[in-house]
Amino acid sequence: MMGTNKLDDERGKLLEITPEGLNEINAVRSRLQKIDPFVTSDLGGRQKKDVIRYASRLHEFHQPLFEAKDEKLLHERLGIKE
C-alpha cells in the first residue's frame, strides 16, 4: 500500500494498493474462502467480519515470533517458564 498527501488537505492521505499488495490480498482472500465454511458457518455477516479481523490481528502479532524461530523469545511471549 502506498500513501500520498491529499493536495487540498494535508491532514488526509490518499491510499493506493500496489500490485504486490493486490497479490497478497488475493492470496489471503482465496485462503479465507477455503476455510470460511468451517470457521464461520453459523455466524452472521458482522460476526464473520469480526472473526476474520481478530484472526488477522493474531496472525500479525504471532507471525514474526514464528518466523524468528527463537524458542526463548517464543516462550517469553507465551509466558512459558523454562
Residue pLDDT, tens place only, 27-78:
888 887 787 777 777 888 899 889 888 888 888 887 887 777 788 887 887 7
Handedness of CA 61, 64, 69, 73 (dihedral sign): negative
- Give the whole-angstrom CA distance, residue 43 versus residue 50: 10
Q: What is the DSSP code (8-state) at residue 41?
A: T
What confidence tens digit (pLDDT) does each residue in 3-28 have?
777 777 777 777 788 888 888 888 88
Question: What's the whole-model pTM score?
Answer: 0.44
Number of H helices, E strands in the chain: 3, 2
Residue type, 41: S
Interacting residues of 32 by C-beta distance below 8 A, sequence separation 6+:
52
